[in-house]
Structures are given as structure tokens and as C-alpha cells.
Amino acid sequence: MAKEHIVQPGDHLLRLAATEGFRDFHTIWDDPANAALKKLRFNPNVLDPKDRVVVPDKQPLSTTRPAGTQNQFPLKRSPSILTVKLQSAGFQPRAGRTTQVIVTIDEGGTPRKITQDGVQTGTDGGRTVRSGNPLIDAELRLLAGAGPSDVAERFPLLVAHLPPLSVRRGQQARLNNMGYLAGFQETDIEQFRWAVEEFQVDHRKQFPRMKRLGLLADNSVDKETLIALGTVHGDLLPGQEGSL
């Protein structure tokens, strides 16, 4: 019978689906019992601890094939994709840097580390990691280069620990990720206000509908700024704006 899963830090739908024996996370996410959660959290891989996900019963599949023939049944699984973009303080892409990425994947309930060497960041400073298994965590390392500023650096990445965009903790985390220093406690209102204003000034030309400066009267962020924040950070995709 269906059961309820209470989200913990580090949970995401790809990993939950694999743990519960589903090859496609949409089987869980699109179940009518999760309609309210789906409306609240538009991104299935950005959930909040204590969110409740209903895991439906697995439905057996059957098919008819003629006897005496060899039949193939391809099994598909949604891949895990992690994309990181590195920029300088002036939003210039850190392109062409040689990287090493160490990822921990969930292999049938057992963590396993995989190292990918030698891939350079793209022209946008991006580096993408793909895996057929759910990701648990990752670390991106920039190797030392020929330039005086091309020093070795390491960036631990907490997979599925990003709070939703709709809550203040999520807004602070995204601003911090982009260098705006928005504070780490929800009570850091003035630091949060300063970071939001700096972000709005920097990106107003790209998002002309973002007309106000600062926070609303209740210290929340207006919808147009939320759309800009999620888009620039990279986890709000085209067409998802209406979910905010």
C-alpha cells in the first residue's frame, strides 16, 4: 500500500524513487496524492525538510510476446544532472579551468565515490556532471593553471540541501551562493535586505519588471525579484514562474 515519506536533509526525488524501486521519479511526483506538494514545490529536487511525499504502490506491468522469439525490454532511468557555474566577483565566467570532480553516488543503497578528471569549465564557467545513479554529494576542484590567478581551489557541494526558493532560507542561500552575503539566520533581516538590494541593482537591466528596491513591508521578497533570483541562480526554469 502507499506510504508517506518525510523529507530529510539531502533527500531528492531521484534518490527517493531509486530507494523505493521506481526507475522514473515522475511516477511518485505525478501521483495525485502529491498534487498539493507539487504545487508548493515546483522543483522535485528542491524539497524542504519535513515535506511529506506519498510513495504510491508499484503497479505490475505485463505484455504479450510470441513464443520462440528473443525479446528485449530496455529499462530507462532518469539521470542525475548537476551543473555548477563558476564566476568571478564581477560575474565574469571562470572559463577554461581544468577540473577534477569527485561525486558520491547511491548504488543500490551503497555509497560509491567516482572521480572525473581533466574536464575544463565551459565558456560560461560551467561544469556539468551526469550519473545514471542518484547523487549524494560532490566536490569540485579547480586544478592549478599557468596564470598567476589560476590557483588550486576546492568547492564542496551539498546536494539536495538547498532550501526552496519560496522560503527566506532559500533566498538567503541563493544570494550567498552568488556572493551577496545575505546572512545565515532568518533573523539577519538587515543583511538580507542589503543583499536583495544589491542583487536588484545588478540585475535590473536583465529583468526590467523588477522595479522595486529592497523588501516588501513584511520583509518578504516580491515575486519579480524571486523570479530573477531563481533564474540567475539556475534552478528556476522557463515556464516555472507561475508556480511562485
Tens digit of each residue's pLDDT (9 = 90 or more) over 5-14: 999 999 999 9
Span 164-180, average pLDDT: 93
Please say if the pLDDT value at position 240 is more than 90. Answer: no
Please say if the pLDDT value at position 239 is more than 80. Answer: no
Q: Percent of the chain at pLDDT above 90? A: 59
Least confident window among 72-86, 114-128, 184-198: 72-86
Q: Are residues 115 and 89 in contact, defined by beta-carbon separation less than 8 angstroms?
A: no
Mean pLDDT over the full length of the chain: 89
Per-residue model confidence (pLDDT) at position 106 = 92
Q: What's the 3-state SS for the chain?
A: CCEEEECCCCCCHHHHHHHCCCCCCHHHHCCHHHHHHHHHCCCCCCCCCCCEEEECCCCCCCCCCCCCCCCCCCCCCCCEEEEEECECCCCCECCCCEEEEEEEEEECCEEEEEEEEEEECCCCCEEEEEECCCEEEEEEEECCCCCCCCCCEEEEECCCCCCCCCCHHHHHHHHHHCCCCCCCCCCCHHHHHHHHHHHHHHHCCCCCCCCCCCCCCCCCCCHHHHHHHHHHHCCCCCCCHHHC
Please say if the pLDDT value at position 169 is more than 90. Answer: yes
Beta strands 135-142 and 153-157: pairing type?
Answer: antiparallel
Span 132-144, average pLDDT: 91
Grid cell of 99 as nine digits: 577540473
Q: Are residues 151 and 161 in contact, defined by beta-carbon separation less than 8 angstroms?
A: no
Q: Are residues 225 and 196 in contact, defined by beta-carbon separation less than 8 angstroms?
A: yes
Please say if the pLDDT value at position 241 is more than 80. Answer: no
Residue of higher predicted confidence among 60 and 49: 49
Span 30-53, average pLDDT: 91
Per-residue model confidence (pLDDT) at position 141 = 93
Per-residue model confidence (pLDDT) at position 114 = 92
Please say if the pLDDT value at position 188 is more than 90. Answer: yes
pLDDT band at 108 (very low <50, low <70, confident <90, very high): confident
Per-residue model confidence (pLDDT) at position 7 = 94
pTM of the model: 0.84
Per-residue model confidence (pLDDT) at position 146 = 79
pLDDT band at 78 (very low <50, low <70, confident <90, very high): confident
Domains along the sequence of the chain with CATH? 3-55 (3.10.350.10), 80-157 (2.60.40), 168-243 (no CATH)
